Amino acid sequence: MSDTITIAPEKKQADTGNSNKMLFAMVGIGLMCALLIVLTYEGTKPIIAKNKAAALEQAIFKVLPGTVTTAGYYWDGNAFTPLNGTEAEGQRVYAGFSESGTLTGFALPAVGLGYAGEVRVLYGYDPAQEAIVGFYVLESKETPGLGDKIEKAPAFLANFGALSVAVGTGGNSLKNKIAYAKSGEKQNAWEVDGITGATISSKAVTEALSTSTAEWVPKLYEAKERFKPQTQSHE
């Protein structure tokens, strides 16, 4: 006696039909989900952009004490030109002015690679003091309780009350590039005192500031007298 089981053609056709229906349903659901994701992204993009712009504006006032008015610029290769909205973030510079119209300094974005990804910061540079006078973390995914100390630890934030970025003779470079120092071992005004237990994160900030200031501070120091306030004030 044979143990072979024969499946009726009708059964095979029914199974094939059910499989096709399931496949079409899955494809349809996938396309619908993709469409919803795209529509949600496009719908929220203007809101996200507006919120980011508002957060950046608030950060500028935090890193430049005494500022009531700001104006945005970018480097066109020869001079600083007012922003037109198409420049890359890393090319943007924000000048701050006091109520009397005196230049309070410049706010600049910088990016470093931390333990969990990019660390995006904004710092304030005062050419009169030739120092960084403010610091703010715009975006970070560093580990809570450890890496996020770069935005919370008072001792680390104290680095940025007067971090030296003096321009050297000739004006084309800094006298000393910003450098990292182990926690408690800072000896010079251009060194960043690191955080024990958050070495990678604090080094990321140091590298971001060192790279950015080396590129931008000499240009800004040379051009500082050319920046003038605009009419719109911060309230």
Counting every residue written for the chain, the total comes to 235
Q: How far apart are the C-alpha atoms of 55 and 101, rounded to whole Å?
A: 23
Q: Kindly give the confidence (pLDDT) of every residue in the chain, 235 residues in length, as a single tens digit, with 9 standing for 90 and above.
A: 556 555 555 555 656 667 777 777 788 787 778 777 877 656 664 554 455 666 788 999 999 999 999 999 999 888 999 988 776 666 789 999 999 999 999 999 999 999 999 999 999 999 999 999 999 999 999 988 888 999 999 999 999 999 999 999 988 999 999 999 999 999 999 999 999 999 999 999 999 999 999 999 999 999 999 998 765 444 4
Instruction: Return the structure tokens found at 93.
Output: 């510079």
pLDDT of residue 2: 54
pTM of the complete model beyond 0.85: no
Report the C-alpha gap between 226 and 67 in whole angstroms.
17
| CA gyration radius, the chain | 27
Return the pLDDT at 232: 47
Read off the tokens for 177: 């590039």
Q: Quick one: pLDDT at residue 25? A: 79
Are 154 and 193 in contact, with CB atoms under 8 Å apart?
no
Nearest to 192, CA basis, from 213, 171, 172? 213
3-state secondary structure of 199: helix
> Could you give the CA distance from residue 190 to residue 181 in angstroms, rounded to a whole number?
10
What pLDDT is attached to residue 88?
66
Classified as helix, coil or strand, 65 is: coil
